[in-house]
Amino acid sequence: MLIESLLIIMQQQGHYTCTARITEIDELRTWFYVKCPKCGKRAYPEKDRFVCLDDDIEEEEPIFMYCLNAKITDNTDSTEVVFYNEALNDIVKGSCRDMVINLGNRNPKVFPDNNFNKGGTKATAHRCEK
């Protein structure tokens, strides 16, 4: 399906499904961020913990969220997309917290490449517009 055709389908039907391969990851952008469990704003690393500029989150566990900028390609074209938490949980079969804390991938600029094969990882995107 042509990627340009998706806009027409969205206007007519309000939704579409696109199956493509993740062929490139934007290494200039971070693949996760941390948000404050109290106010939902971004939390920042400070030594061995994360801090929120508005709240003291030392007592609570910060929330790790995927936000991966990538290029997807199907048999007709390529486009740049952003995969957020729910989509990337399904693709890598694990939570962002597990990737960062349990597996030790703490550098937000380096996405663990063992999660994608060299031919591109298959991704199915569902989009609904109201």
CATH number of domain containing 105: 2.40.50.140
- Is residue 115 included in any domain, yes or no? yes
CA 32 to chain centre: 7
Residue 5 lies in a domain: no
pLDDT-derived band at 30 (thresholds 50, 70, 90) equals very high
**Is the per-residue pLDDT at 115 higher than 70?**
no
**pLDDT at 34 exceeding the cut of 80:** yes
> What is the 8-class DSSP label of residue 118?
T
Rounded to a whole number of angstroms, the distance between the first and last alpha carbons of the chain is 22
Domain that holds residue 31: 15-125
The radius of gyration of the chain's CA atoms, rounded to the nearest angstrom, is 17
In terms of DSSP H, where are the helices of the chain?
5-13, 85-92, 96-97
Number of domains in the chain: 1
More confident: 116 or 26: 26
In a domain, 3, yes or no: no
Question: Residue 118 pLDDT > 60, yes or no?
Answer: no
